[in-house]
Amino acid sequence: MAFYSNFNSLLSISVPYSGFSLYKESFLTPHPTFSLYKTPFLCNSISTFYLRNISVDKTPVLCNSLSLFNTSKCSLKERFYKQKPDKRAYELNSEVSPHRAVSAVRLLRIEEGGAFADQLGWRENEMVYVERTLGFRVRELDDRNIRLVTEIVGGAVRWRRYLDFLIGSLCSNAETFRGMEPLLLQILRIGVYEIVKLEMPPYAVVDENVTLAKNALRPGAGNFVNAILRKLLSQKERNLLPVPEIEGTERTQARALATLYSHPVWMVRRWINHFGKEEAVRLMNWNNSEPSFSLRANGRKGITRTDLVLRLETLKVPHEPSLHMDDFVQVKTGMQIVIQKGLLKDGLCAVQDESAGLVVSVVDPKPGESIVDCCAAPGGKALFMASYLQGQGKVIAIDINKGRLQVLWEAAKLQDVDDVIRTVHADLRDFAAENSLKADKVLLDAPCSGLGVLSKRADLRWNRRLEDLEQLKDLQDELLDAASMLVRPGGVLVYSTCSIDPEENADRVAAFLLRHPEFTVSPVDKFVPNDFVTEEGFFLSNPVRHSLDGSFAARLIHSFN
Helix runs in 315-451, H state only: 335-340, 354-363, 380-388, 402-414, 428-434
First CA to last CA across the chain, in angstroms? 50
Task: Write the CA distances from 550 to 286, 407, 481, integer angstroms.
Answer: 11, 24, 24
Residue type (1 letter), 497: T
Does the annotation place 399 within a ligand binding site? Answer: yes
For residue 493, the 8-state DSSP code is E
Tell whether 379 is in a known binding site: yes
Residue 63 annotated in active site: no
Neighbours of 7 (CB within 10 A): 14
| Residue 489 annotated as binding site | no
Q: How many helices (DSSP H) and strands (DSSP E) are in the chain? A: 22, 19
Per the DSSP assignment, residues forming a β-bridge with 555 are 494
Question: H or E element: which one contains 279?
Answer: helix 277-287
| Three-state DSSP state, 339 | helix
| E strand or H helix that includes residue 293 | strand 293-297
CA dist list (Å): 325 to 38, 192, 340, 540? 48, 40, 25, 15
| Residue type (1 letter), 85 | P
Helix spans in 425-550 (H): 428-434, 460-463, 466-484, 506-515, 543-546
Peptide bond into 242 cis (omega under 30): no
30 labelled binding-site residue: no
43, 171, 448, 498: the catalytic one is 498
d(CA 94, CA 108): 22
Is 98 annotated as ligand-binding? no
307 in a labelled binding site: no
Q: Is 438 annotated as a binding residue?
A: no
| 430 is known to lie in a ligand binding site | no
* Residues annotated as part of the active site: 498
Known binding-site positions: 375-381, 399, 427, 445
Known binding-site residue numbers for S-adenosyl-L-methionine: 375-381, 399, 427, 445
